[in-house]
């Protein structure tokens, strides 16, 4: 198969569509040429036409990440709601039913609260829902963890400084011995 020669019409269409903000692949579809042919045509212009969409891609990526974060937060909230609904069932009256006996009779019993086995199942559901919601949106307001982190970083920095000045790690802390009772 012989390639179609490039025409002035192809060049004009590439320049016009590029000016309209079309991507290389969109231009290729519009003029019924391959993307590599569009790239060759674009490179022949002085200055060459560029298809750098990094800023648009970066902005679209940021928007997509924000959308996903919002969806995760909404889903985490729904999981917390489910956990709270299940918690409400822990001490609520519960209807138990069964088909049984030789005549396959239906029987119902209203219990004051779920059986221990059902309570364990409910607790498992609650624990799973809370765990998953915390994994989707971890809490950020744990001041204690932040304080521990700051203190840990401070201690590590002091240890590095000591090692730089003294050529080795600081000595381990030893408790002073209590004075011996001298009854003599």
pLDDT in the model for residue 147: 60
The angle, 0 to 180 degrees and rounded to 10, between the axes of the packed helices 8-19 and 35-44 is 90
Closest CA to 15 of 34, 57, 36, 43: 43
CA 144 to chain centre: 23
pLDDT of the residue at 73 = 92
Model-level pTM greater than 0.75? no
User: Quick one: pLDDT at residue 154?
Assistant: 75
State the greatest distance between any 2 C-alpha atoms of the chain, in Å, as a whole number.
Answer: 115
pLDDT score of 79: 94
Neighbours of 20 (CB within 10 A): 10
Locate 15 and state its tokens: 């320049």
Partnered with residue 111 across adjacent β-strands are 94
Taking residue 79's Cβ as centre, other Cβ atoms within 10 Å add up to 20
Residue 47: cis peptide before it, omega within 30 degrees of 0: yes
Chunk the chain into consecutive blocks of 10 residues (it has 184) and report each block's average pLDDT, rounded to whole numbers. Answer: 83 93 91 92 91 78 91 94 94 92 90 94 94 88 63 77 79 68 57
Q: What is the reported pLDDT for 51?
A: 82
* Whole-number Å distance between alpha carbons of 3 and 165: 72
Q: Which are the contacts of 40, defined by CB distance < 8 A and separation ≥ 6?
A: 6
């Amino acid at each position: 198969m012989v390639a179609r020669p490039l025409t002035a019409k192809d060049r004009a269409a590439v320049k016009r569509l590029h000016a309209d903000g079309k991507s290389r692949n969109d231009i290729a579809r519009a003029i019924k040429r391959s993307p590599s042919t569009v790239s060759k045509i674009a490179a022949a212009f002085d200055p060459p036409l560029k298809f750098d969409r990094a800023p648009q891609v970066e902005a679209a990526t940021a928007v997509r990440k924000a959308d996903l974060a919002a969806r995760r937060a909404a889903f985490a909230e729904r999981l917390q709601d489910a956990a709270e609904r299940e918690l409400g069932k822990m001490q609520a009256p519960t209807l138990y039913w069964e088909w049984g006996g030789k005549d396959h009779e239906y029987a119902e019993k209203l219990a004051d609260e779920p059986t221990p086995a059902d309570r364990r199942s409910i607790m498992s559901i609650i624990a799973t829902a809370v765990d998953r919601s915390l994994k989707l949106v971890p809490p950020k307001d744990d001041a204690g963890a932040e304080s521990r982190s700051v203190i840990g970083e401070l201690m590590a920095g002091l240890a590095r400084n000591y090692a730089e000045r003294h050529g080795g790690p600081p000595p381990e802390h030893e408790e002073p011995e209590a004075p011996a009772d001298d009854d003599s």
